[in-house]
Amino acid sequence: MNNPLLADWGGDFRLPPFADIADDDFAPAFDAALAEGRAGVAAIAGSDAAPDFANTIAALEQADALLDRVAGVFFNLLGSDANPAREALARDLAAKLSAYASEVTSNRALFARIEDLWARRDDLGLDAEQARVLMLYRRMFLRAGAALGETESARMAGIKARLASLGTQFTQNLLADERDWFMPLEDLAGLPDFVIDAARAAAGERGREGHGVTLNRSLIVPFLQYSPRRDLREKAYRAWAARGANGGATDNRAIAAETLALRAERAALLGHESFAAYKLETEMARTPAAVRDLLMRVWAPAREKALEDAEAMAALLRADGHAGPLEPWDWRYYAEKRRRALHDFDEAALKPYLSLDAMIAAAFDVAHRLFGLEFRPLDVPLYHPDARAWEVTRGGRHMAVFIGDYFARPSKRSGAWCSTFRGQKKLGGEQRPVVVNTCNFARGNPALLSWDDARTLFHEFGHALHQILSDVTHGFISGTSVARDFVELPSQLYEHWLEVDQVIETHARHWQTGAPMPADLRAKLKAAATWDQGFATVEYVACALVDLAFHEGAPPADPMQRQADVLEAIGMPRAIGMRHATPHFAHVFAGDGYAAGYYSYMWSEVMDADAFAAFEAAGDAFDPDLAARLERHILSAGGSEEGEVLYTAFRGRMPGVDALLKGRGLVVA
């Protein structure tokens, strides 16, 4: 019990004792937690008592309490502050944790108890949430292979163990490529101050003098936007696009091929014609055909708009003395040039009004206006000096601890995400969540965000609110434990409040003078709101279509060739690259959460555009009745109902795609 991960966590908020945890503590803590979990499952499965909800489903949910606690600490640290010891343990744990999960779902005595409950479900006196949880547990067991024969069950366990190891290796390879690449930068011509500052900070983080470009999106994107040096843009872009495909030990292409083959075999064992059919069965979309229909309805107008823009930018390229053709490393540079010319809008003029602290305050203020939440800074030990914490309360009641970890660093994987150290539940006693938003913003003094960065901050905080406001009994369905194509609704919906006049007027103030953003700059920002959406939509939808093609039909022996075939078939503009090419498509290959599911951002966008339209129709972005309905039916409800049921309860109906196309400027308003 000297292991801090296994001891009782005291203090006002029962936070992990970060200051006391050493890397050597994790392996024995996992061993103890797995042993406790196995003992708990064995006791449930071997019980002589007749199955009931309490002694089977509720007991099963609580059997992994210690494992959930230890894993919550480890995997958050692994993603945000990796080191060789943590990466080595992660490789070892992938197989161990997969084996444990397979043991549970292949336990025939345990599954028999669940089937007994299912057969008697109408006579058990279950409330609506218990009935939902019972259904979801049974479905989870069936989809994990609980009804398979012994030979097939053993093969399924082997597949899942191998997939877990492949996903871990994919992630670590990608982090290694991102961590190792650095381009010294001596020519700073054309770069605004915020890019120069970020390039200086990036060099300093790597112990270098001067300035440099890394593969952090918050640095490389503005570099590609502003650097007039076409040769340097090409070098940086090619390195960015080549992550995971550089040959050697960190190459992810063979991992992708093996992953797709194993997923197809897994689906076939369960009687599905493809992994896409298996995966989408429980999502809102239900079928690959429904996904393809949505994506292609958006693809056609987006591609048309992108091709129009490409023609105009190619003319600018030629005017600069380049013969062409327009290349992917040219797009952002000439798009920024056109935006300045057509809208008199330069994002560099915007950034002084978007300091990180101001945007955090804006996100908190919106949550206060909509849901009555209050945020108080906490002075507590955390896992990294960059991380900050706040207590979240409402009416004096403790709701959550929120942690923000905003800056890029070599030890952090790329992207932005929301996770928890502890989720919300009431089973076994009230437990309020500890939620963390992790981003990769460029450092500065102060840190100044791009508009896209600010949207990312709001997006991730929307996910956080889904956890903070969760109000269910069972942790199994709390917070973001919903269908993948529903989970992005709260996050993408929250982005809309960044554009609300009252929010910009209050919080978008110059970091030095405190002056509000000038009216003419706000007007230019709004006028350019749908700028370059042909590009943004094409680079996203192309990824979603490739993901879908990977998981329909026979798995490709060569994923790169399948990717190329899909892009050719849809007429991918040559000057636009996929947002996530296969070797660095972590959404799809670092685990199967978004596999055959990358479309889900757009599926959710159909709903978020329609949902915010309700606030616009009410004439008040902070309409209290709508906010209460949003909390009651979506943010607090977790996975207590199917996504379409929850959305219809909020909005009265399911939406069409028109609001999405209008919001992206792909149809005439």
Cβ-proximal residues to 120 (8 Å cutoff; 6+ apart), any chain: none
What Å distances lie between residue 354 and 193, 434, 504, CA to CA? 14, 27, 9
Cβ-proximal residues to 333 (8 Å cutoff; 6+ apart), any chain: 224, 225, 226, 227, 228, 230, 233
pLDDT digits (tens, 9 = 90+) for 218-253: 999 999 999 999 999 999 999 999 999 999 999 999
The catalytic position among 460, 495, 499, 631 is: 460
CA pseudo-torsion sign 551, 554, 556, 562: negative
Q: What is the C-alpha to C-alpha distance for residues 445 and 447, in angstroms, rounded to an integer?
A: 5
What Å distances lie between residue 343 and 137, 312, 336, CA to CA? 54, 15, 10
Q: How confident is the model at residue 324 (pLDDT cuts 50, 70, 90)?
A: confident
Q: What is the pLDDT of residue 669?
A: 47
Helices (H), 619-642: 624-630
pLDDT digits (tens, 9 = 90+) for 278-300: 999 999 999 999 999 999 999 99
Q: What is the C-alpha to C-alpha distance for residues 326 and 164, in angstroms, rounded to an integer?
A: 40
What Å distances lie between residue 469 and 133, 187, 255, 640, CA to CA? 19, 49, 38, 14
What Å distances lie between residue 291 and 223, 285, 294, 436, CA to CA? 35, 6, 5, 31
**pLDDT for 272 beyond 80:** yes
**pLDDT for 28 beyond 80:** yes
**Coil, helix or strand for 438?**
strand
Please report how many Cα atoms fall inside a 13 Å half-sphere around the Cα of residue 36, on the Cβ side.
18
Q: What is the pLDDT of residue 347?
A: 82
Burial class of residue 649, CB neighbours in 10 A (0-12, 13-18, 19+) = middle
pLDDT digits (tens, 9 = 90+) for 530-567: 899 999 999 999 999 999 999 998 999 999 999 999 99
pLDDT digits (tens, 9 = 90+) for 72-88: 999 999 999 999 999 99
Number of Cβ within 10 Å of residue 575's Cβ equals 22
Q: What is the C-alpha to C-alpha distance for residues 651 and 262, in angstroms, rounded to an integer?
A: 40
Helices (H), 106-192: 108-119, 128-144, 150-180
**pLDDT for 1 beyond 80:** no
Active site residue 460: yes
pLDDT digits (tens, 9 = 90+) for 34-84: 999 999 999 999 999 999 999 999 999 999 999 999 999 999 999 999 999
pLDDT digits (tens, 9 = 90+) for 430-457: 999 999 999 999 998 899 999 999 999 9
User: In which residue are the tokens 């305050």 written?
Assistant: 361
Q: What share of the chain is helix, strand, coil (3-state, %, to 5)?
A: 60, 5, 30
Sorted by where each starts, the structural domains of the chain and their CATH numbers stand as 18-147 (1.20.1050), 181-249 (no CATH), 252-345+533-598 (1.10.1370.10), 352-527+601-663 (1.10.1370.40)
pLDDT digits (tens, 9 = 90+) for 168-185: 999 999 999 999 999 999
Q: What is the C-alpha to C-alpha distance for residues 33 and 79, in angstroms, rounded to an integer?
A: 21
Nearest of 547, 546, 485, 555 to residue 268 by alpha carbon:
555
Burial class of residue 124, CB neighbours in 10 A (0-12, 13-18, 19+) = middle
**pLDDT for 163 beyond 50:** yes
What Å distances lie between residue 275 and 150, 260, 569, CA to CA? 22, 9, 22
Average pLDDT over residues 516-539: 92
Cβ-proximal residues to 468 (8 Å cutoff; 6+ apart), any chain: 373, 392, 399, 400, 402, 433, 435
pLDDT digits (tens, 9 = 90+) for 106-159: 999 999 999 999 999 999 999 999 999 999 999 999 999 999 999 999 999 999
Q: What is the C-alpha to C-alpha distance for residues 183 and 329, in angstroms, rounded to an integer?
A: 15
Which stretch of DSSP H or E encloses residue 278?
helix 275-280
Cβ-proximal residues to 611 (8 Å cutoff; 6+ apart), any chain: 489, 493, 630, 647, 650, 651
